[in-house]
Amino acid sequence: MVKITDIFDYKFLSHLELSPNKENAGFIVHNVNVKENKYDSFIWVYNRITNECKKITSYGQETTFRWLDDDTILFPGLRDKSYTEKAEMGEPWTFLYSIDINGGEANEYCRIPLNINTFEIITNKSFVLTATYDRYGINLHELEEEDKLRAFEEIREDEGYEIIEEIPFWSDGKGFISNKRNRLYLFNMESYKLTPITDEFMDVHSYLIKDNKIVYVGKKFRGKNNHAPGIYQYDMETKRTDIILEDNLYKIDYFNFINDKIFFIGKDHKKSLATDNPKFYYVENGEAKLWLDTDFSTRNTIFTDCRYGEDTTIRVHKNTIYLVSTHERSSFIKKILPSGEVEILSADNGSIDGFDVCDDEILFTGLRGLNLPEIYSLKNKEEKKLTNFNENALKDKKISIPETMVFENNGFSVHYVVLKPVDFDENKKYPGILYIHGGAKGVYGKVFFHEMQLL
């Protein structure tokens, strides 16, 4: 039988990312730390040539990374105790560390005077990054030491209240967000220069580096955050920002380039419903042109409590779109060619959480069947399990097999899942639990769900 404490032994995988030469795949393994009531996260690397898997960090706070080159990984952190104390008092710092995947310790690569949210590598000495900007925050880096100590005291005194001037003022996982923006910056290591690209009212959703330009999706607002973003382009040479697509027209879930032309996945802001599936558009001469009038999911919405960390579920490889799409009880990898032809690549067998693409193979993390998360290879529509992080977690456990069923109600097909008690006897009566999730698009699938098995 499954016990409530079994979840402490599960490993959760995320952030699968192939090296530039495609020989290695980096990923994060998250372990439950019961004593400190948190997750410990480590970077691992899988070699596609030798099929070997190895752990390359040991600090336990590595939740994201980027490949600097074929053998070197960069990851953010804060390991210097003196700077950790400064950060705890409110002074923002992020250190980037480099580590050779072939062996050795992590070394400080650079330090950035911000609490960064994301970063991308332009060159080995320059980055584009996002960080939370607070309009009412104190810039401690501009103060002398004596003034900084007074500012620390002021920050402590202000912890008991929040100034709320905007709605929404709260976001799950972020806390209070009034007067705060995800701001875009350039950082140069050699000059130690930090340059804001966007102003204090622009909230950046996503960005790409293309031909010495940074293209980003974001929206500028004051007071009420109720409109849709636009697409903008910043030229790193001229320092000029141009509008590619006006804001408040489309809800943009994702954007990228195909044949040097911008496309995005999204919905008409004024005509669509929250539950509508998105469509595919090209941007031409400042206008969005409908490319694919689709009606399918473009994300993974399979519920499970055996998942942790962030993953990439849409990629463009050689002018072809690959994405995760949910249909009924499973999520699938779909391939969309420039011609608009759509092909399903993976099987109806659970959840695909994240992936990366090689020329002839896809590596993905997911929950297949009633197995816990592992990394798989997908080649010629055949799947092969590559890792065994959770091989023993459910060993000798009696598991209830989900039964998917459908009934018709007023012309609509209603899908549901039934989990019978382990060792179910059809001649006995059992108490039942009706479990309904109120969120849009969420799906109870055929994957392992610890809470459901426990109940």
For the segment 67-77, what is each residue's pLDDT rounded down to a tens digit?
999 999 999 99
pLDDT at res. 297: 96
Q: Model confidence at 455, in pLDDT bands (50, 70, 90)? A: confident
* 293-310: burial string, b at 16+ Cβ within 10 Å, e else: ebeebbbbbbbbebbbbe
pLDDT per residue as tens digits for the range 102-146: 999 999 999 999 999 999 999 999 999 999 999 888 787 888 777
pLDDT at res. 128: 98
pLDDT at res. 448: 96
- Cα dist. 358→21, 38, 45 in Å? 9, 34, 16
d(CA 53, CA 66): 18
Contact 306, 8 (CB under 8 A): no
pLDDT at res. 373: 98
d(CA 196, CA 178): 20
**Residues whose CB is less than 8 angstroms from the CB of residue 173 and which lie 6 or more positions away in sequence, other chains included:** none
Amino acid identity for residue 211 in this structure: D
pLDDT at res. 53: 97
Task: Pick 110 or 414 by higher pLDDT.
Answer: 110
d(CA 268, CA 274): 11
pLDDT at res. 58: 94
Contact 124, 68 (CB under 8 A): yes
Looking at the chain, how many residues does it have? 455
Task: Pick 88 or 378 by higher pLDDT.
Answer: 378
Tell me how many degrees the CA angle 11-334-118 measures, rounded to the nearest 5.
55
Least-confidence region, from 129-143, 286-300, 397-411: 129-143
Query: Is residue 298 scored above 80 in pLDDT?
Result: yes
Residue 155 parent element (H or E): helix 145-157
Nearest to 203 by CA among 183, 177, 176: 183
pLDDT at res. 114: 95
d(CA 329, CA 203): 35
Q: Model confidence at 261, in pLDDT bands (50, 70, 90)? A: very high
Residue 378 parent element (H or E): strand 374-379
Least-confidence region, from 140-144, 173-177, 283-287, 385-389: 140-144
For the chain, give every domain's residue range. 10-134+163-385, 403-454
What is the token pair recorded at 239?
């320092």
Torsion sign, CA atoms 57, 18, 217, 310: negative
d(CA 72, CA 62): 15
pLDDT at res. 172: 86
Q: What is the mean pLDDT of residues 51-63?
A: 97
pLDDT at res. 142: 80
Task: Pick 152 or 21 by higher pLDDT.
Answer: 21
Contact 24, 101 (CB under 8 A): yes
Task: Pick 176 or 288 by higher pLDDT.
Answer: 288
pLDDT at res. 146: 74
Contact 335, 346 (CB under 8 A): no
Q: Dmax over Cα atoms in the chain, in whole Å?
A: 78
pLDDT at res. 70: 98
d(CA 221, CA 225): 6
d(CA 129, CA 184): 6
The mean pLDDT of the chain is 94
In DSSP terms, which residues pair with 347 in a beta bridge?
A: none
Amino acid identity for residue 125 in this structure: K
d(CA 141, CA 180): 18
Tell me how many degrees the CA angle 255-261-262 measures, rounded to the nearest 5.
20
In DSSP terms, which residues pair with 265 in a beta bridge?
A: 254, 280
Query: Is residue 158 scored above 90 in pLDDT?
Result: no
Topology of 10-134+163-385 in CATH?
Methanol Dehydrogenase; Chain A (2.140.10)
Nearest to 132 by CA among 119, 120, 115, 118: 115
Amino acid identity for residue 25 in this structure: A
Query: Is residue 162 scored above 90 in pLDDT?
Result: no
